[in-house]
A and B are shown apart, each in its own frame.
Chain A
Amino acid sequence: MWRFAGIRTLHAIPVLIGVTFVVFGSLQLVPGDIANTLLSMFYTEERGEALRAQLGLDKPMLVQYAIWVWNLLHGDLGQSLMLRQPVAEVLLDKIGNSLILTGASLLIVIPVSFILGTTAARRFRTATDRSIVFFAMLLASLPVFWLGIVLLYLLGVNIKWFPMSGMYNMANPGGFPDLIHHLVLPAVTTAATSVAIVTRVTRGALIDTLGQPYILSARARGLSDFRVTYRHGVRNVMPTFANMCGLQIGYLFGGAIFTEIIFNWPGIGLLLYNAILQRDVPMVQGCILAIAVVFVLANLLADIIVYGLDVRRR
């Protein structure tokens, strides 16, 4: 298993190098440059030259890339244009907040889709199965921003069960319970699509498995339906289920961007959104890089865990 983990980690390196290329290159594709953005309406050639020299933007592109990567390896992502603060410092803070949201969503996705998926498969072609499939399809086709606003309006504004923005009550912060209270709506919203996907895949895989001869033999031995499904069937679906859940980590982290904007959750998505609106290029770069890295790492982690879970490979 450790050997597999090592190899997969090595495989992730070229992907990450590719990511740095894309992120750095995307800045070059934007018309104008940072000096231009920074001076905005008051840009002139002369002022631009002075500022460019000050920021090291007058060097050749490959040299700039080398410097950027070198700084990156030292944890320096440059300075935010709007905040005049190191991008890395701001990012670290916000990644934590996004991971809280992602983690909470995952804690919803895993049990809910497991129960729904296995129940549907057990009751294959019954009314229960059909309604679960319908429900999953409904969830999958609801855009996150729409669902978010509806939940927010129904549960946050109409019946005031949950607060609807931020991580804490601003005027009167209440610590951990306050955080959980603020977390419910955004976590449910983020989880919705993933619940649908994992449910459907789990259901499909389990239906397949339940058609296998060894299941038939288990039934023939008179084992209860519950026992057949959960002890013999589900066990073989587990790697698929774990794999799907692992893949969802990256998806949830990315999907959290929309949720964060709607619920004003101070994570990396909101940071990215604000940075785009304010033309803060280094910050946008930093956010995209961070999201890409988390995505790659989450998939890596999921792969290794799935490998570890799969008894056949031990």
Chain B
Amino acid sequence: MKTNTHEPGRWRCFSRRTALAAFGAAIGTAMTVTGFSFPANAQEKTVVMAIEGEPGQLDPHTHALWLTYREVYLMFESFTQQDLSVSDVEIPPIKPALAESWEVSEDGTVYIFHLRQGVTFHDGTPWNAEAAKFNFDRVLNRDFEYFYELAYNFNTWWHQDIESYEAVDEYTFRINLKQPNSEFLRRISMGGFGSAGMLSPESVKQWGNEDVSLHPVGTGPFKFVERVVNEKIVMERNADYWDPQRVPRIDRLIIRGIPDAATRELALLTGEVDIIATPTPDSVEYIQGQGMNVIMAPVPTIYLMWINFKQKPLDDVRVRQALYMAIDREGLCTYLRRGQCLPAYSILNFGGPGHDPAYQPMPYDPERAKELLVEAGYPDGFEVRVDWTPGGAGDVATVADAEWIKRDWARIGVDLKIEIFEISTYMQQMNKGMREGTGFMQLSWGENAFHWLDASISPAALPPNGFNAGFYDNPKVGELLAAARAATSEEEMLAKLHELQTVVIEEDTAFIPTHSPLGVYAMNPSITGFVLPPQHWTDLTLIDKTQ
């Protein structure tokens, strides 16, 4: 008994000490990690924007995803830029940026850019033809000290036709193309998966090719301040920006990646953030009811279904047409997506070249679809599998889309089995081509140039060399895409693209476009001046915040 009464004492003592130590350690860790920070100056206008996920590396030449280009776009510029201050256009117009003007030779193969004078990078390095050459060398010149393999590979979509380039004098830069490129000026103004944005040569020399993305230095209207991965990217206004129209009205811009849509929406309602991208269709009404402003407009996004040409009975064009016609796209947009989308009937997406809103070659017609199936020898329909993904950052409610299509197809007797994959496995599967037994895969894409078609529908993109996951092999498609790119006039380019549309949709029905969700942003009423152009990224120099 004696030992027993003694032991509890020790035990108690130990427990108390442990508890104290644990508590102390927890507080201690928290304090060290936290540090103490002081409130920022209240006079400063700080805007916090929450986007759909964590951006990637902030290198203009090797960034990936539109999420990342939203920030890269604000810090880096190319020779040309897109005017994102207007929303009521089909495609944002091209205007001068780091080049004040340019001349294009008659045959469309020589571009001479006259560079803007008196511009400096955020670190004080002057912008001139030498700096431009440094950037082109980093991407294209294998003998250059700072050549970056990844940058070369990421940017083929805009540099594939470049033969040579040179700094003619301090403010003149010449690019020679192997063949005309009808979209060259537009492509060098874009981003999302590499871009022609100009980095400060000094910053690359200081940090090296890899680490320079941690210290991004460009010429853009916003300057990089700091980044805490998974928490925030902080930028401040560049008061010395060359275009007085685009000097930011706000002092600081903080970008947060919040992947969960519900959290993003609630963070807006509680005032923790000022602007959010992509609330879910179902919550828009609620957010508006809480006094927030919601801005929506069409953007170049398009949801397409790839079709497996190796899978019976999908090798029969009548079957493909029947499936194309059996989807009630209007209904999907009106009911499922609450009016926040446009039906899509073509591979030429809204906001891209050649888009025709009236194009509707095979409207919704389940009766005719059924007849086509009978003609093809499937009066009782058939069973087929689709591989689907909830998508990456920025995709909302896509699984519901699959269920909508399943219901529509059930009406013509086609039984759709849906299998869901996370985005990573899914994308690699697309690269390898569809697995046996899978009839369809679906993905969102769409740009305001047509280079993405080279990587998705052209025979050059057949697996494993691209995203033509359904093995659609029509040489005519490759020829038309090449001809559209090599066109020397816009009319010629559009004519080729329209021909392409006829081949892919009407003759082959090789893809089933379904819909283009609108771009949706919600913001606190204190935010003014927000413009949503037909683009995946927006010009945040235009916004202001009233107290």
Interface residues of A (CB under 8 A from B): 30-32, 36-45, 47-48, 50-51, 54, 79, 81-85, 90, 93-94, 96-97, 99-100, 103-104, 106-107, 110, 149, 152-153, 156-157, 160, 163-176, 179-180, 231, 235, 238, 261-264, 266, 270-271, 273-274, 276-279, 281, 284, 305, 308-309, 311
Which residue of B has the minimal Cβ distance to A153?
B266
Convert B36-77 into 0s and 1s, putting 1 for each residue whose CB lies closer than 8 angstroms to a CB of A.
111110000010100001101101001011000000000000
Give Cα A92 to B164, complex, Å. 45
Q: With A37-B428, A279-B392 given, can you name 10 additional A-B contacts, CB distance below 8 Å? A: A40-B431, A93-B229, A103-B26, A164-B263, A165-B258, A266-B229, A274-B54, A274-B259, A276-B423, A279-B424
Tell whether, in the assembled complex, residue A278 and residue B466 are in contact, meaning their CB atoms are under 8 Å apart.
no
Using CB atoms, name the residue of chain B closest to A214: B4
In the complex, chain B residues 459-479 whose Cβ is within 8 Å of any chain A Cβ? 464-467
Cross-interface CB contact of B466 among A31, A44, A110, A174, cutoff 8 Å: A44
B316 within 8 A of A: no
CB distance from B45 to the nearest CB of A (A): 10
Residue B157 at the chain A interface, CB threshold 8 Å: yes
Count class of interface residues, chain B: 35 or more
Tell me if B156 counts as interface (CB < 8 A to partner A).
yes
Docked pose: A100 CA to B424 CA in angstroms: 30
User: Is B11 a contact of A311 with CB atoms below 8 Å?
Assistant: yes
Cβ contact within 8 Å between A264 and B260: yes
A45 CA to B273 CA, complexed, in Å: 44
**Chain B CB within 10 A, most for which of A238, A273, A278:** A278
Of listed B30, B429, B452, residue having the most chain A CB within 10 A = B30
Given known A82-B64, A90-B229, contact A264–B267 (CB-CB < 8 A): yes
Bound Cα distance from A153 to B266, whole angstroms: 8
Which of A174, A273, A309 lies in contact with B259, CB distance below 8 A? A273
The 10 A-B residue pairs with the shortest CB-CB distance, nearest first, are A32-B428, A82-B56, A279-B424, A274-B54, A44-B465, A103-B26, A266-B230, A175-B36, A84-B57, A171-B46
Whether B259 and A277, one on each chain, are in contact in the complex, defined by CB atoms closer than 8 angstroms, is yes
B245 at the interface (CB under 8 A from A): no
A274, B229: Cα distance in complex, Å: 11
Question: Hey, which chain A residues are within 8 Å of B269, CB to CB?
Answer: 157
Q: Which of B437-459 contact A (CB under 8 A)?
A: 445, 452, 455-456
The answer, yes or no, to whether B104 is at the interface (CB within 8 Å) is no
Is B23 an interface residue when CB atoms closer than 8 A count as contact?
yes
* Across-interface contacts of A180 in B (CB, < 8 A): 30
Among residues of A, the one whose C-beta sits closest to the C-beta of B14 is: A309
CB distance from A208 to the nearest CB of B (A): 19
Q: Which of A42, A152, A157, A169 contacts B153 (CB 8 A)?
A: A42
Bound-complex Cα distance A83 to B55 (A): 8
Does A82 lie within 8 Å of B57, measured CB to CB? yes
Q: Which of B19, B213, B272, B429 contacts A169 (CB 8 A)?
A: B272
List, in ascending order, chain B residues with CB within 8 A of A173's CB.
Answer: 37, 39-40
What residues of chain A lie closer than 8 Å to B257, measured between beta carbons? 274
Known: A54-B149, A107-B23, A277-B393. A32 touches B431 (CB 8 A): yes
A51 near B149: Cβ-Cβ < 8 Å: yes
Residue of A54, A106, A264, A281 with most partner-chain B CB within 10 A: A264
B150 close to A51 (CB less than 8 A) = yes
Given A82-B64, A152-B263, A176-B36: A278 in contact with B465 (beta carbons within 8 A): no
- A163 proximity list for chain B (CB < 8 A): 270, 272
Q: Residue among A82, A85, A277, A281 with the most chain B CB within 10 A?
A: A277
Contact among B11, B150, B256, B266 for A157, CB-based, below 8 A:
B266
CA distance A193 to B30 in the complex (A): 24
Cβ of A138 to closest chain B Cβ, rounded Å:
22
Partner among A81, A93, A107, A271 whose Cβ is within 8 Å of the Cβ of B26 = A107
B35 with A175: CB separation less than 8 A: yes
Q: Within the complex, what minimum Cβ distance (angstroms) separates B56 from chain A?
A: 4
B64 touches A261 (CB 8 A): no
- Inter-chain contact A42/B428, CB cutoff 8 Å: no
Once the chains are docked, how many angstroms separate the CA of A305 from the CA of B429?
48
Given A264-B263, A309-B11, also A278-B428 (CB < 8 A)? no
Q: Which residues from B are CB-within-8-Å of A32?
A: 428, 431-432
Closest to B42 in A: A172
Q: Whole-angstrom distance from the CB of B41 to the nearest CB of chain A?
A: 10
Which residue of chain A has the shortest Cβ distance to B230 in the bound complex? A266
How near does chain A come to B392, taking the closest CB pair, in angstroms?
5
List the A side residues contacting B429 at CB < 8 Å.
31
In the bound complex, what is the Cα–Cα distance between A270 and B258 (angstroms)? 9
| Set of chain A residues within 8 Å of B149, measured between Cβ atoms | 50-51, 54
Task: Judge whether B256 and A164 touch: CB under 8 Å.
Answer: no
- Cβ contact within 8 Å between A266 and B258: no
Most buried by A among B8, B150, B260: B260
Query: Are the CB atoms of B35 and A166 closer together than 8 Å?
Result: no
* A264:B422 contact, CB within 8 angstroms: no
Please determine whether B456 and A41 come into contact, CB atoms closer than 8 angstroms. Answer: yes
Most buried by B among A42, A44, A172, A311: A42
Which of chain A's residues have a CB closer than 8 A to the CB of B334?
Answer: none
Minimum CB–CB distance from A58 to chain B (whole Å) comes to 14
Residue of A nearest to B209 (CB): A84
- CA–CA, A84 and B227, complex, Å: 14
Considering the complex, give the chain A residue whose CB is closest to the CB of B46. Answer: A171
Question: Do residues B53 and A31 form an inter-chain contact, with CB atoms below 8 A?
Answer: no
